[in-house]
Structures are given as structure tokens and as C-alpha cells.
A and B are shown apart, each in its own frame.
Chain A
Amino acid sequence: MIEQAAIDAHGLSAEEYRRLVEILGREPTLTELGIFSVMWSEHCSYKSSRRHLRRFPTDGPRVLQGPGENAGAVDVGDGLAAVFKIESHNHPSFIEPYQGAATGVGGIIRDIFTMGARPIALLDSLRFGALEDELGRPTPETVRLVDGVVAGIAGYGNSIGIPTVGGEVAFEPGYAGNPLVNVFCLGVAKAERLAKGVASGAGNPVYYVGARTGRDGIHGATMASAEFDDSSADNRPAVQVGDPFMEKLLLEACLEVMETDALVGIQDMGAAGLTCSTCEMAARGGTGIDVDVSRVPQRETGMTPYEIMLSESQERMLLVVRRGREAEVERVFDKWDLHAVRIGEVTGDGLLRVRDRGRVVAEIPNRELADAAPLYDRPTRYPAYLDEAQQLDLSALSVPPDLTRTWLDLLAAPAIASKRWIYRQYDHMVRTNTVALPGLGAAVVRIKGTGRALAMSVDGNGRHAWLDPREGGRLAVAEAARNVACAGAEPIGATNCLNFGNPERPDIMWQFVEAVDGIAEGCRALGIPITGGNVSLYNETDGQAIDPTPVLGVVGLLEDAGRVLTRLFPAAGLDVVLLGDAVPDPAGAGGLGGSEYLKRVHGLVRGRPAAVDFDRERALQRLVVDAARRGMVCSAHDCAEGGLAVALAECCIESGGIGARVDLPGPTASNDGFDVVRALFGESPSRIIVSVTPARGDELLARARSAGVPAAAIGRTGGDRLTVSVAGDVVADLALKTAEHAWATGLTRHLDPAAVEGSASWESAL
């Protein structure tokens, strides 16, 4: 007889408990209760989000594997597939930054090689609390978290030998009690050999391989489905410890096994460990599975079946092998000094049967356990804060006296400044495929043996999503795809990580639904299928929810790896062409709503972010990709945080001392005096700065015209200064060296002051 207390402790509602009793036709054993609780947790069952995720476009001519497997896959030609996915590890990273982030990397890597793909790239989307206080001093708690998370990502990725080639990081007060660590991994597989997490063929043996099972991570999945409070620090036992060396062995051995056809199915033991891998594989195969936990290699003594089934120890895989081919498989694992243990077999009865030394301790209908989790249509409510937050009254603000200072200040903002301190801790070159180094735009890795390359970008803006969740979702899609296009790649697939608060709160659920609709609209409009992703809810601490943060990971294909573009002006004497509106967001508030300028200079997060016109966006991206293919443009850079002025500076910084002088049209006669500020720092989508040789400038402008993309030659590259004038009057002007120093040290001066003081070494580093 199960006590009510036990049911509550497992986070199951009375309705959910009633349902599981109905499925079993009896009261569950404690082990069965544990198994149901993790499988039906938000983390594993997506019970609050699933019905909404169905609105994502998931089909396309290139899609080889959509949502539902360990990762999605798209066709990239030559019989190859790009396999990719993004996943969150937010809660563990807050409790233990290093191990939380490290095991997040380990988990997503397993998802990729489980598909039969060789992982070749990692990216990270990180969110932390404010890095500076009101006085511009570093906030120790944020510094500690950043240091731990970055070290954890580096520690795992560098050891296993998969390059971390890019990502993004943002600092907002809303993440102080709940940082976000979203990890993206991409691999390359033979299209016709994609592996599946399926258990089929009654009688086929089930193997366990990898690290021994310990008590770590028990109820990690349920933890990820609960809010934090002061007692969260006591959750440490629920955080797993990573072993990248073990995973390296698993990665190589599994890929080697997959070269044979002795394997029926394979799945990693991630959230909900052995429970999830066994019942999901059998559910996909329409079979049953019978395992004896006493055969599972154990790290600790006296573990109960309950603990073994729920443990989230890392670096473990479950394999279903063709009967009669066991020796082949065991030989490969022996080569890598891994011990593959047979723990059970596939059955035909559709049951997940768990034994302990032969004695049955759990017997659950698979399909119900995996697929019959209760789905909720959570109530939504328009948030009370929103109307007020969207009001932006500039008349209460004064225009900064010195816009050159403002420009420098923005370049030094942690959100904009160089992320060098972070990405230099990552081995971003291993496997010699990285054809665009980090910090120059989208990450680009070549596919050896083909002339091609893949560009990747992960983007999201919680500030935008907080002010307008739907537009925030649309903007994230547009920006990630635009960044990929700026590298010269055609966007061909997307994955997403949806980070939100407690879905049981109607206003949070409203944010979620709006963001999902926005992402769906954007992907549909740009023709980019979503092949999978991850939802992370309950990102709250003491009732304080994070900014809603939909993060998009977009993958693009470059037909010619030799034509990759970066943000850098490659030479002096080139025309600087702005593709897109010269005056940001002409229809709206001039792109100041939710802008970095407004936050940095006036300490405000208000207004509405500029809306995306997807017809314009699509035309713009196609124009840039086409121009890149023709070798018509020499560089391309998206205008994002900080607007055109910051984007222009970024085209010159690290270019080897090539400055630029541009003249912007305007001002449009508004009466609030902010026109020049808008022209410089206003943020609106669908704007790209490109450089082009004077000889081909007219051709580019003509193509833009016929594509329906506004375009104007706004200046020239060259000199050692950055100068912006509006309608002929110089409004901001600074030495490139000064801009470079502000940008290069903006983040590092908080994270590693010593590195900045030795300014000499900085110059050499620039």
C-alpha cells in the first residue's frame, strides 16, 4: 500500500496517480511509483508543452529525422546527414556550475553519437545574472557562476576532443537565481545509416555499457521539473559528475559498433536513466523489455532496484544487439577497455519488466508508461506587467551629451564586448574543421571530403521575449537564420530550447504559448523546419521567474567552404553597403524598445522590440547568400544589439586596423530629439552591413533593388578611425584602437582583471 506522502514526494498529482493505478490495474510497488514519477515528470513527458510544440513546422525536403528521436537530422548532400540538437542543463548548473555544465555537454554529445553521427561542433547559449552593479563593479556571484560554467564546458568538450566553436552569452538580472546553460551539438552521419533508439526483435539481447551506476542524479528529472527555493543547495546529490574520458571511449566504441550491422538500436541513459532508455526504446519498437538490475554494474553497494532504475549516473548507454552477433559487439568494446554487460532481452509482450536477481520488482505496460503521460492544456492569462512595460516615453529621458562616449560604453557592455575570455578556454580548432574562428559571426565547420561547410548560430533575446513573447520568438528565428546567412550559408534546419518559468502560472504559460507561436510563424515564413529541441520549465527561484527565453539554433549549408564570410572588413577602399532600412523600425519606435542602448544608458527595459517583416527578412537573407556564392561581397555582419553603430565598429575591430567612415540619411523629423540616437543605436531586424569592391557596388545595389531589399552605399572602409555622420554632420568619431580596447576588455575586466591590467599583452592579443 502506497502512502499519500510517498505519492506527494514523487510529485504525482492525485489524477496522475489514479491514472497509473488504472494502467497497472493495481497499486504500484515503490519501484513502479518511482518509474512513473520520472517518466511522467515535465522533463521527460513534456506534459505541459507537447500539445503546443505540435504547431512547429517539422517537414522539409532535407529532413531525414524530425522530432521524436535522440536528435534531428537533415540531408547535406553526398549521402551525409547533419545531426543536431540543443538541450538545457539549467538547474544542475545553478546548483553546481562546473559539473552541471560539464554533464550538459556530455548529455547532448551522447544524443548526437547515439544517432550514428560523429560529433564535430559544440555551441553554448548562456544566461547569467547582471555582471555589473549600478556602479559598474563586478557582481561576485555572477563571476563565480560564469567561471564555473565556462570551466565545466571547457573541461568536458576539450577532453573529449569536440571543438566548441561558438555560442552566445547574456547578462540580465532576471537570471540571477536561475542561470541558463543551453548546449548545442552537431554531428555528421551517413544518411542511410542513421541509428535509432529502438528495441525490436523479441529475443534480441539488451546490453548495458559505460560507467557504473551510482546513487548520483536520482530524481534529477523531477528536480528539473520543480522550482528552486533556499533548500536547493541541499540538492547536490541530484547533480551528476561527468567523466569525459569514459564518454570518449563510449563515443569511439559506439561509432565503431555502428559500422557493423550487429546493432538493432541504441540509446543513451540521460534523464531518468535506465528507466527512460528501456521503456522508450521498447515503446518505439512496439515491444517489451525485460532487464535484471542485479546485472547492472554498480559503483556503490546495497543499491535498490528503485535506485538503479532512477539513477542518472553519466556516460551510460543501452544497446539492443542482433542475436548471434554478440561477440562482434563485445570485441569492439573490449578494444576500448569497456565492459558491455548483457542485462536482459527484448520481449514480445509490450511490458517493461524489471527483475532483481530474477524476482520481478516492476511490470509496466511500456507504451502507456512512455506515451500515455497526462498531457495538460494549462490555462493562460495575459500578464499584468505587460501593458505598462510596453510603454516607452522618451520625453522623460534626455539625449546623451556625447554620443561617441555612448558608443564606447556600448562596445564595452558585457552583452556586446568580446567573448574572447570565454571561447579561448574552449578548444575550438580540434578536428581541423573550423573555417571561421569564434567571435567573427556564425560558427562554420567544413565537412572534409566535400567542398561544403555548415554554419551554425544560437540566438535568443530574453529582454525582447519579456516585452513581447511572440515577437521575441519571431526575432530569435530571424536573427539565428540571418547570422547563418551572413556567413554565406543557406539555413536548412533548426532546433530550439525553450526556457520558461512555472507553466502552472497562467501568465507564464501565456508567454510560452506566444513564444511557440512566434517561432512557428518565423520558421514557416523562412521555410526552416524544426527537427527537435528541448523544453525547460520551472526556471524560477523563490517565485521569481526568468525572462522568457526561447533560444533558436539554426544550421545552414555553404556549398563552397572557400566562400565563407565573416564580419571583418578585409581591406581599405571598399564600399560599405547597408542592406535593409537606413532608419531602424520606421513603422515603430525607431528600434529603441527593449534595446541595449535603453538598458545600458537609461537603465530601462521598456517598449516593444521592432517587429520582423518576414517577406523582407527572407529576401534579405537570400540576397546575401546569393551574393556570397557569387563572391560579390567581401564581408557581412548583422545589425543586432547596439544597432548600426556597434555593428559598424564590429566590422572594423580585429580587422587589422581597417577603419571606416559612413554617412547615414536622416534625421526623420520627430520632435523628441532622439533621431540621431535611433540612427546610431536603434535595433531593428533585417539589416546587414556588407563590404563590396567599388567595381561591384552597383551590381549589388541593383540585385537588392530587384529583390525588394532597401540598400544604400553609406561609406568607405579605411583609415584608423570610426566616423559616423548623419546627413553630413559628424555625430560620433573615435580611434579604432580605442574602440578595440573598450570592446576587447569589456567582459574580461570583470572576469579576469589581471589579464586586462597587463595591457601590453592585450595589444598583442588583439
Chain B
Amino acid sequence: MAPPVEPAAGVWGLIEDVRGIGGIRIPEAAGRTSSGGVPVWRRDPPMKFAIVQFPGSNCDHDAYHAARHVLGRQAEFVWHKDTDLRGADAVVLPGGFSYGDYLRTGAIARFSPVMGRIREFADDGGPVIGICNGFQVLLEAGFLEGALLRNRRLKFLCRHVHVRVEETDTPFSCGASAGQVLRLPIAHGEGSYHAPPETVDALEANRQVVFRYCDAEGAATDAANPNGSLRGIAGVCNRRRNVVGLMPHPERACESALGSEDGRVVLESVVAATAAAGAA
């Protein structure tokens, strides 16, 4: 499937996306989307994603491609040393290895300049999602509760799994139906969610468990839990419900060519939420 691209941009822009100094900048593809490879013009409200780039981020381009070229929304990379979110409506902390993560995963990222700005953004109620390493960063930075330990079989695991949408009143799940089963890829070595029992009880009581590992039929069995996460927790949100973190990669599951489109609902949810907020 060839995403729409202005001739001026050339295909290199789609391969490299926006680069920094001396980088190629392709014209805004805002207002466009592609369905089944066919470019379609659309007129609903503009929506801009800020995709944070730590030096070791490596799913930044995955998130950018999904937001910009699949959903046809605006997206801009925000460098970790930067404190300007470029007027974004939502912030994505992508997967990767932030600063190498030789120290505890995400332990250094929390101190980066951009995180201070993201804290303000979140405190103002702005939607923030942390995917994989981004989830780990949100936990380290105290946006979310809990910790992520080595997978139970102590190996990095990359495969498709199923997760069940437990809560639909967050900006990243409001487009889904309660109990909806999504087929999403995971790719992590430290994704086993852990927290003290009372914390987990509180999370459950406050309906902060947003995604839970399950089988294809939606049953949260131990066999369907790929990494040994406590109570099969795959993603949680904060009390205010505007900050969500999850280990699976919805941004890698937005095109049938990649094996699943189930991840689109996560990103499209925040588009809808933003539109609603704008209308209100």
C-alpha cells in the first residue's frame, strides 16, 4: 500500500520521515488519510500528535508513520532536549531504549527536559500515551503506578498477542467497545507488570486497568499472558484517566499488510476525544 505523498516530498521523506538538522522536511500531509491504499480527502478537525524522540527511541518512526501516513493526521517529532510540544493535541512516548537503558529502563529519560513539559501538559488534562519503553518511562517518571520486570521466561519476546479493552473512558480506548479483543504485537524483554497487591487492588477498584492480556476469545487465562504480568495487566491509566501506558504496540497494528489493524482504534480514539474536546 502506497501512502499518499506530495511529489515534492519524494519517497525518501516517507522512508526517513522528518529529520533534524539538514534533514528532509516533507510537506504536511494533514487532512489526508489512506484507506486500502486509496488517498481520501477528509475534512474533520485537524489533530496533531507530538512524538517524543529520546536518543534511543526506535519506535518513534512507527508511531509517526501510523499517525501521519495511516491516520492522515499531523505529527511532529519532539526532541528530548526540547520543551516545546508544537501545539500538539496528544503526546506519544514511543518504544525503544530511551538512553540505552543500561541503567534501569527509562530511569534516565524521566530527567530529560521534555518530560517536565509533558508533566504540565498532562496536568492540564492533555492526553499522553506511553507505548512499551514509553510506558516504562511513564512509570519511572511517576505518571503511572507500578513497575515492569523481566518477562517470566527471561527472554525478549516479539509476537502477536490478544488484549481485552477493560475500560473505554480513556482518550486512548474511548473508540473501542468494552471487552473488545484486540490483536496487537508485543516486543519487549521487560514487560511483566508488577505492583504491590494493595496498589493493584486500588487500580482495579478505580478501573485503571485499561488493557488485559487474553486469548482470542477474550478469556484472560495464564496461557494467554505472555510475560507473567500481575493479573494479566497489559496497560493502565492514571487516576485522571488522561495518561495511558501499555506494553503492546498499537502503532504497529494499523495496517492489514502488517498482520493486524486492531491498533487503529487506540490512536483513532484520541482523535475522536480531541474532536469532542474541541466541540465542547
Contacts and interface: CB of A to CB of B under 8 A. Distances in A.
Interface string B182-222: 00010101000000000000000000000000010000010
Interface in A136-192: 151, 154, 158-161, 188, 190
B13 A426 contact: no
A665 to B, nearest CB: 38
A245 B99 contact: yes
A336 B13 CA distance: 21
Contact of B55 (A336, A424, A447, A764): A336
Interface in B6-36: 10-16, 19-24
Interface string A596-623: 0000000000000000000000000000
B61 A431 contact: yes
A529 B259 CA distance: 33
A423 B156 CA distance: 10
A432 B65 contact: yes
Nearest to A446: B257
B153 A449 contact: no
Interface in B98-112: 99-102
A428 to B, nearest CB: 6
A627 interface: no
Interface residues of B, number: 56
Contacts of B257: 435, 446, 561-562
A260 interface: yes
B58 interface: yes
Contact of B62 (A118, A151, A249, A431): A431
Nearest to B161: A764
Contacts of B101: 159, 245
A329 to B, nearest CB: 10
B277 interface: no
Nearest to A452: B2
Contacts of B56: 159, 245, 248
B16 to A, nearest CB: 6
A427 B102 contact: no
A256 interface: yes
Contact of B156 (A160, A425, A435, A562): A425
A729 interface: no
A248 B21 CA distance: 17
Contact of B155 (A159, A332, A337, A425): A425
Contacts of B95: 430
A14 interface: no
Contacts of B189: 158
A561 B3 CA distance: 12
A22 interface: no
B11 A761 contact: no
B110 to A, nearest CB: 17
B258 A432 contact: yes
A451 interface: yes
Given A188-B15, A758-B223, A429 B55 contact: no
A185 B101 CA distance: 24
B172 interface: no
A449 B97 contact: no
B122 interface: no
Interface in A240-282: 243-246, 248-249, 252, 255-257, 259-260
B252 A248 contact: no
A335 B21 contact: yes
Nearest to A428: B158
Contacts of A257: 22
Contacts of B252: 429-430, 432
Given A161-B58, A764-B223, A754 B11 contact: no
Interface in A426-473: 426-432, 434-435, 437, 446-451
A749 interface: no
A429 B249 contact: yes
Interface string B51-93: 0000111110110011001000000000100000000000000
Interface in A680-728: none
B235 interface: no
Contacts of B251: 432
A754 B15 CA distance: 41
Contacts of B159: 424, 765
Given A160-B58, A432-B258, A435-B258, A449 B15 contact: yes
A80 interface: yes
B157 interface: yes
B1 interface: yes
Contacts of B58: 159-161, 248, 430-431
Given A161-B59, A332-B22, A434-B258, 10 more contacts: A79-B12, A159-B58, A161-B97, A245-B55, A245-B100, A430-B62, A430-B95, A432-B65, A435-B258, A761-B223
23 contacts: A158-B156, A159-B101, A161-B96, A244-B97, A245-B55, A245-B101, A248-B97, A256-B23, A259-B23, A331-B21, A332-B20, A423-B158, A429-B249, A430-B252, A431-B58, A431-B61, A447-B15, A448-B14, A448-B65, A448-B69, A449-B3, A449-B13, A449-B14
Interface of B: 1-3, 5, 10-16, 19-24, 37, 55-59, 61-62, 65-66, 69, 79, 95-97, 99-102, 153, 155-159, 185, 187, 189, 215, 221, 223-224, 249, 251-252, 255, 257-259
Which 5 pairs of residues, A with B, have the shortest CB-CB distance?
A161-B58, A245-B100, A449-B14, A449-B11, A260-B22
